[in-house]
Structure 1
Amino acid sequence: MKKLLLNTLLLSFVVLTSNAQRVLDNLDQDGSGALYRNNVLNKQLAQKIEGSEYLVNEFRFAEISGVSKQIMIRYDAVTDMIEVQNEKKEVFSLIKNEPYSTITIIESNEKIKLLNYKSDEGYMNGYLVELFSNKDISLFRRDKITLQKGKEAVNSYQTAVPARYVRVSDEYYLSIKNKTAIPMPKNKKELQTLFPTKKEDIALYFKNNSFSLKNEKSIIEMTKFISTF
């Protein structure tokens, strides 16, 4: 029985992988440029870097808008790129264009959206994780990892510090009435100012509920409350 179950699972994986490969072939059969080969991704880094540029290292099956079949993807939080892997373990980057703007991870149902948004760095076009959305307001999270440079030992008394990938604090963004997403206010006062006609309602919410801009669950619940206005 166990052997039969294992064979069934293996067969299912082979079928899914084969379908994913056909999708990869179909994506660019007319030279549309949906995928492009990233040679850096297909080579081992010469420099030893600690940590990972991925929140999830494994490739996972996902649905991509504009693509009829599921394919294997993962998100690089350093380069802000969606990587696609074929059955030969070759890695390609998904171009940041319509219609490939919504990626849904099958196992977690997590939705990643390609959006224009305004950050402290200026106007950006990149991937944000959708945490809540309705017709009036949407909440997104930006996952980001940076490369921290290493330091060589100047002499025998010093220890070399290797380069490492470091995850930085999550950033949250609000999109109101489908407008360009903007940074989540940094404090309660700024949040009330963003919704001037509902200051009293928001103040009452703060009074009756525990709220922290450092807690994702708290931010989601606050956004849901605002969506009822």
Structure 2
Amino acid sequence: MKLQLKLAIITTLLSIMMYGQAYDRPRTFNYSGITAPERFISKISPATQGSPYIYTTFLLAKIENFEGVALLRYNANNDEFEFIDPSNDTLVLKKVVTFSKISFVANKSNYRLVEYTDKQKQKIFGYLVCLQENKDYSLIKRQKIDFYEPKEAKTSYDTRIPPRFERAKDTYFLKYKDQDIVEFPSNKKGLVKLYPDKKEAIETFIKQNKINFDKEEDLSKIIDFLAT
């Protein structure tokens, strides 16, 4: 725990130092061009437990079609990116294709603004993390943090539950060439349904490698297998 705290502090300090160095150089940034209209960030009540952010600190990131770097953080509750402008205001990045690729410098996380289909067959335009690209196949995941309203005590024996943010389980997606991004199958049967021509090979691979569809590293192995 102490090591993680030290690493977090070092990362934050490096980000601040690099950000400061970047602003020592002449800038031609047009922050008004990347800001979502009227989207200043409202403050979260101190009584709220947890956080809507994957990383609470702003970290250096590169935005597609935006010169240089900026300090960003991902709000996994609203599915949007926030950034700090030169006036020290916290604003929301425009959710447009122009800025569809975001790469964090320190942790190498790569976000993509894409259209994908969830398990309920709904089309969603949002941010996914690109974990792996192997030839025609990609493994992508959605990070989500849910908000829960407070629950008042109904009797003197009950305890009030404050409002809170809680990290939801990550959802994984699969992309093949230019086809739609779909939710990664949760089992062997689902994978075979996607690729019936590879039925025997898939069954043999899963059995020999003891694949667990709940493990990210095993899903990565599947991507490598499909790409061969």
Q: TM-score normalised to the size of structure 1?
A: 0.85
Residues 182/223 of structure 1: CA separation in 2 closer, same or farther (3 Å cut): same
Residues 9/211 of structure 1: CA separation in 2 closer, same or farther (3 Å cut): closer
Between 1:70-79 and 1:172-181, the stretch displaced more is: 172-181
Aligned residues of 1:135 and 1:178 also touching (Cα < 8 A): no
Deviation sequence 1:33-80 (CA, Å, 0-9, x none): x213423x1x42346210011111111101111111111101000000
Whole-Å Cα distance in 2 between the matches of residues 84 and 214 of structure 1? Answer: 33
Alignment of 1:121-140 (within 5 A): 121=120, 122-140=122-140
Question: Which residue matches 1:62?
Answer: 61
Could you tell me how far 1:156 is from its partner in structure 2?
3.1
Residues 193/97 of structure 1: CA separation in 2 closer, same or farther (3 Å cut): same
Q: What amino acid sits opposite 2:30 in the alignment?
A: N
Could you tell me how far 1:87 is from its partner in structure 2?
4.3
Could you tell me how far 1:172 is from its partner in structure 2?
0.6
Aligned residues of 1:128 and 1:141 also touching (Cα < 8 A): yes
**Consecutive unaligned residues in structure 2, runs of 5 or more:** 1-13
Whole-Å Cα distance in 2 between the matches of residues 140 and 12 of structure 1? Answer: 29
Could you tell me how far 1:11 is from its partner in structure 2?
6.3
- Asked if 1:77 is matched to 2:76, the reply is yes
Whole-Å Cα distance in 1 between the matches of residues 47 and 124 of structure 2? Answer: 30
Question: Which residue matches 1:151?
Answer: 151
**Consecutive unaligned residues in structure 1, runs of 5 or more:** 1-7
Whole-Å Cα distance in 2 between the matches of residues 86 and 109 of structure 1? Answer: 22
Question: Which residue matches 1:4?
Answer: none
Percent of residue pairs bearing the same amino acid type: 29
- Asked if 1:225 is matched to 2:219, the reply is no
Aligned residues of 2:15 and 2:60 also touching (Cα < 8 A): no
Question: Which residue matches 2:30?
Answer: 26
Query: Which runs of 4 or more aligned residues in structure 1 lie more than 4 Å from their structure 2 counterparts after TM superposition?
Result: 8-13
Deviation sequence 1:136-170 (CA, Å, 0-9, x none): 11110000010012111234332111011111111
Q: What amino acid sits opposite 1:78 in the alignment?
A: N
Whole-Å Cα distance in 2 between the matches of residues 82 and 146 of structure 1? Answer: 16
Whole-Å Cα distance in 2 between the matches of residues 158 and 63 of structure 1? Answer: 48
Residues 153/9 of structure 1: CA separation in 2 closer, same or farther (3 Å cut): closer
Question: Which residue matches 1:15?
Answer: 21
Alignment of 1:37-186 (within 5 A): 37-39=38-40, 41=41, 43-46=42-45, 48-121=47-120, 122-186=122-186
Residues 201/54 of structure 1: CA separation in 2 closer, same or farther (3 Å cut): same
Whole-Å Cα distance in 2 between the matches of residues 204 and 15 of structure 1? Answer: 54
Residues 27/90 of structure 1: CA separation in 2 closer, same or farther (3 Å cut): closer
Whole-Å Cα distance in 2 between the matches of residues 127 and 10 of structure 1? Answer: 25
Residues 165/178 of structure 1: CA separation in 2 closer, same or farther (3 Å cut): same
Between 1:130-139 and 1:50-59, the stretch displaced more is: 130-139
Aligned residues of 2:186 and 2:213 also touching (Cα < 8 A): yes
Could you tell me how far 1:88 is from its partner in structure 2?
4.0
